[in-house]
Amino acid sequence: MMRPETTIPVVRRIPTNRADAFAFTIEGHLSNADVENVYGLLEAAYEQHDKIDLLVRLNGYEGFDWNAAFKDTTFAMQTRSLKHIRRYAIVGGPAWIHVCANLLKPFLSIDMKTFDSSDEIKAWQWIGAEEIGE
């Protein structure tokens, strides 16, 4: 078992080669605080760029706190995100994520696409960005 001080954060930003391209890796179980952290990072991005491209890599994703998804503040942040995201690539994760994303696509104003983990290079190409070393 890992000691708390060596625990890897659930959400980590992935550096990209474009100022208006943002990427995150999500591992483990998303808590309320993790969801708010992601939206906080995105809110900061929206202040700098009217439109962004987003890639989310789901490695070892174990779900999220359902009450986080249905909080009023989360709904407000989700609605605001729709105005600012041009392309949204979801890489990996459980099959239900891909199913839900494909069901929601016709109702969203953003261009969203899901990719298997083995197709991550295609996801980066699709959003027109590259991961860079820190």
Beta bridge partners of 54: 22, 88
Structure tokens at 48: 């700098």
pLDDT of residue 112: 92
Quote helix, strand, coil % in the chain, to nearest 5.
45, 30, 25
pLDDT band at 2 (very low <50, low <70, confident <90, very high): very low
Domains of the chain: residue spans and CATH: 9-127 (3.30.750.24)
Distances (CA, A) of 113 to 2, 4, 6, 104: 35, 35, 33, 11
Q: How far apart are CA 102 and CA 121, in angstroms?
A: 20
Structure tokens at 7: 């625990």
CB 42, CB 49: distance < 8 Å: no
Q: What is the pTM of this model?
A: 0.84
> pLDDT tens digit string along 19-62?
999 999 988 888 888 888 888 888 899 999 999 999 999 987 77
Statement: residue 1 has pLDDT above 50? no
> pLDDT tens digit string along 73-126?
555 566 667 789 999 999 999 888 889 888 888 888 889 999 999 999 999 999
